[in-house]
Amino acid sequence: MGISTAPAMTAEEIVRLSREHTFFSWSVQGAVDPIAIDHAEGIYLYTPDGRRIIDFNSQLMSVNIGHGDRRVIDAISAQAAKLQYVQPAFATEPRARLGAKLAEIMPGDLDKVFFTLGGAEAIENAIKLARHYSGRHKILARYRSYHGATMGAMTLTGDPRRWANEPGIVGVVRYPDTHRWGEPGPRPVAESLQGLEDVIRYEGAHTIAAVFLETIVGTNGILIPPDGYIAGVREICDRHGILMVADEVMAGFGRTGRWFAVDHWDTVPDLMTMAKGLTSSYLPLGAVAMRHHIAEFFETKMYYGGLTYSSHPLSLAAALATIEVYEEDDLIANAARMGEVMRAHHEALAAKHPSVGAHRSLGLFGILDLVRSREPYEPLTPFNGTSDEMKAIGTFFRENGLYTMIANNSIHTNPPLCISEAQLGEAFEIVDRALEIADRSFRG
């Protein structure tokens, strides 16, 4: 029986068969307890039995335009009816249009892109491009970072998800972060930049192809670099002839209230990776963008890289339609406006709940860090761990119809950019009640 003629499955059947025959990411398989989702609209997910859940993390900080937008669905259908696939050596209209559109919205002279299927593949190709272009092999990356789960991207990833996947690729060296774990604020800019300078000195600038960084660190805690840091990294890279690679997979496409997070600091990286918000996850797509001089280099040099699904017409059509939605609905400006509302909610929660030790946000990219004590500053979990309180908060959200990412001692607040002020209020009302759980363990 085909899927379209089969009777609808119950939530229990969906979960049981999904668990029995499919493997879940980042999980002990026997411990997964997924929620079955039937459909979604705007900021809401709906279960097969009609329960409504607020999507307060845009899934994986990726469904930026919100769920169920007809304009993107129709664009995908129209492309599917016309041309589903040609291999990447061909040229197509969505490819032509999307390339030109991205060149228009990307900063500076970033004007050419290589399309991939997602963020990790964008990172893999950024590593290759940087190595081919520079003739050097070392890559600098930070500890508090996530760049994807393929082998190269996993090696660049500094967080503990890397440990079980080691050894990775050769030539990856760490440089210091802007924020230390377990501290509420960033380190001084000059100290962070000096740390990068030191690593470059000891490694030898002539051996380093590129410095990678998430412009704003995502899953490792929405770590917003202090003013001067991003421009400082740019200056150091220029001085040493090293490429600067901004990973905008999570921070890009309006999440921070600008098209790209680098736009807040008027900085143009040499390579920029993107995915997620590029199609708002309606279909898989990533890209690595390059500045003009890098694109020029490859005019006469072979690029040793490719993917069967690079420039897939359906994904490109989805991206074009998604970008039109950002523009038509003024979603980037809405993210900036609602970002102010979200910050006010964060501040109110921090004033009311002693367990909110720190909060950070830019646009609709936000997080609350929970603590047992503010002075001295003691997070509610150990590094890379959880606690009974954080688990109870997770259960509370689930029972009260709110989905978001909980990592270590943090609650992420990253809703779709189409969210309204009233909907933000609705979500933060649930967060407010959940924080009482953490307050009970506060020691003052």
By CB under 6 A, name the binding residues for ligand PLP. 60, 118-120, 123, 146-148, 214, 218-219, 247, 249-250, 275, 286
Query: Which helix (H) or strand (E) is 247 found in, with range?
Result: strand 243-247
Two structure tokens written together for 282: 């309606």
Give, in degrees to the nearest 5, the angle at Cα 188 between 182 and 192.
Answer: 85
CA distance 170 to 200: 17
Nearer residue to ligand PLP within complex by CB, 264 or 353: 264
How far does Cα 351 stand from its chain's mean position? 29
CA-closest candidate to residue 31, choices 400, 403, 399, 394: 394
Nearer residue to ligand PLP within complex by CB, 26 or 202: 26
CA distance 304 to 53: 45
Nearer residue to ligand PLP within complex by CB, 218 or 339: 218
CA distance 12 to 27: 20
How far does Cα 120 stand from its chain's mean position? 11
Which residue bears the tokens 């000195």?
201
Whose CB is nearest to ligand PLP? 119
Least separation in angstroms between residue 206's CB and ligand PLP is 28
* Half-sphere exposure of residue 150: CA atoms within 13 angstroms, side-chain side: 14
Nearer residue to ligand PLP within complex by CB, 36 or 407: 407
Give, in degrees to the nearest 5, the angle at Cα 426 between 423 and 430.
Answer: 145
138, 173 contact by CB (below 8 A): yes
Nearer residue to ligand PLP within complex by CB, 249 or 325: 249
Least separation in angstroms between residue 235's CB and ligand PLP is 23
CA distance 419 to 196: 38
Nearer residue to ligand PLP within complex by CB, 223 or 424: 223
389, 438 contact by CB (below 8 A): yes
Beta pairing partners, 247? 214, 273
CA-closest candidate to residue 268, choices 260, 256, 258, 276: 260
Least separation in angstroms between residue 348's CB and ligand PLP is 28
Nearer residue to ligand PLP within complex by CB, 265 or 396: 265
Two structure tokens written together for 385: 């761990």
Least separation in angstroms between residue 284's CB and ligand PLP is 8
Least separation in angstroms between residue 16's CB and ligand PLP is 27
Least separation in angstroms between residue 82's CB and ligand PLP is 27
Nearer residue to ligand PLP within complex by CB, 148 or 363: 148
Least separation in angstroms between residue 62's CB and ligand PLP is 8
Nearer residue to ligand PLP within complex by CB, 212 or 428: 212
Least separation in angstroms between residue 420's CB and ligand PLP is 26
Residue 110 backbone dihedrals phi, psi, to 5 degrees: -70, 110
Least separation in angstroms between residue 251's CB and ligand PLP is 7
